[in-house]
Amino acid sequence: MKQLTILKILILSFVMSIMTVGIIEAANEDFFLGVKYNSVAKKNEIYKISQTTGESVLLKQFSFPSGYWQPGASFMDSYNGNLYLKDSNGQYMQYNYINDTLTTTPVMDSDFQTMFQTPWAGSGIVSEAADGSVHIGENSLVTIEQNGKQSLYATNAKGKAIPININNGSSLQVNGVDVMDKIDGTVALSSAMSALPNSSEDATSTCGMGTGFHKGLSAISAGCAMDFATLTQNSNLSPLFKRASVNLGTSAIMNNKGFSNFALRAGLTFKLGAKKLSSSTLSMDEDLQRYSTGTNTRIAELKKENDVLRAEMDALNAKLDALIASLNNG
């Protein structure tokens, strides 16, 4: 088997520490497990004995089913942390230091002179593939060095890549910083930033404030937008920059300690094409058009009425002239 790189060994050690944290913790304490008989209590006892001071601590008091045991046929399973104490009736008293539990195994064939632990229980826990990748577990967590970087991914029993789900209260951290908190904070900051003005439509400058919320995190923002022409005394700006707007803003996460994770933004907005009439201007033009049309219609109607009245007046005048002439002749 090829030699594992130092980085592979570190990753392997990290994963194995999660899988067997209790065993590693016990090993780091530098102690022995000892068994002796208490003649007063008439029970056997398991002790934890410090390798540094020799001090012993009682862990468990029990009795063998047969009343006797075989120390020479007993052994320690260092892979899962179980101490196997063989009873004279062929059973084993199985003590787990991590869980502080004592159980009894089925009766073994008494013809065995001794028993040995296997290198690994069940399927191989750690293996190295031909490409140098290290597989941890049957459904593997895989790590391999590629192009100067250490890759880490997971596969199922068929070797197909699957997601790595970090749960049960654990968090994914990079240099001590929670990744999900960073993502949630970024969303809150972006939401707050989006509330700020990007341009100043009908004033030299426009300012505003905004807030953003995401998964328990709050952010606040403040910023302004102003005409680009107000920032320079150059009167020879191109039309593109004369109509441009500059926007500046900042945002920060709010917490019980004040503000953190400050972010800044700056932008330049260009207006392209002909100036677009506002909706209010269009509405006014439409009102004027409707008024003008209505007025012309009314003028035409009044003209017709005036013509009718004039004809009637002419008829009355003719009758009046005829009446006067008749009186004069009489």
Q: Write out pLDDT tens, residues 113-157.
A: 777 766 655 555 677 778 888 777 767 788 888 888 988 888 887
Q: Which token pair is 142?
A: 């895989």
Q: What percent of the chain has pLDDT over 70?
A: 81
Q: How many CB atoms lie within 10 A of CB 95?
A: 22
Q: Which pLDDT score, from 0 to 100, does residue 277 have?
A: 58
Cβ burial, residue 313 (10 Å; 0-12/13-18/19+): exposed
Q: Write out pLDDT tens, residues 287-309.
A: 677 767 778 887 888 888 888 88
Cβ burial, residue 304 (10 Å; 0-12/13-18/19+): exposed
Q: Which token pair is 197?
A: 């003005």
Q: Which pLDDT score, from 0 to 100, does residue 117 have?
A: 67
Name the band, by pLDDT with cuts 50, 70 and 90, for residue 55: very high
In this prediction, residues 193-220 reach a mean pLDDT of 86
Q: Is the pLDDT of residue 252 over 80?
A: yes
**CATH node for 181-269:** 3.30.1300.30
Phi-psi region of 235 (alpha: psi -120 to 50; beta: other; left: phi over 0): alpha
Q: Is the pLDDT of residue 38 over 90?
A: yes
pTM of this structure: 0.41
Token pair 């699957």 is found at 162
Cα 75 to Cα 252: distance, rounded to the nearest angstrom: 60
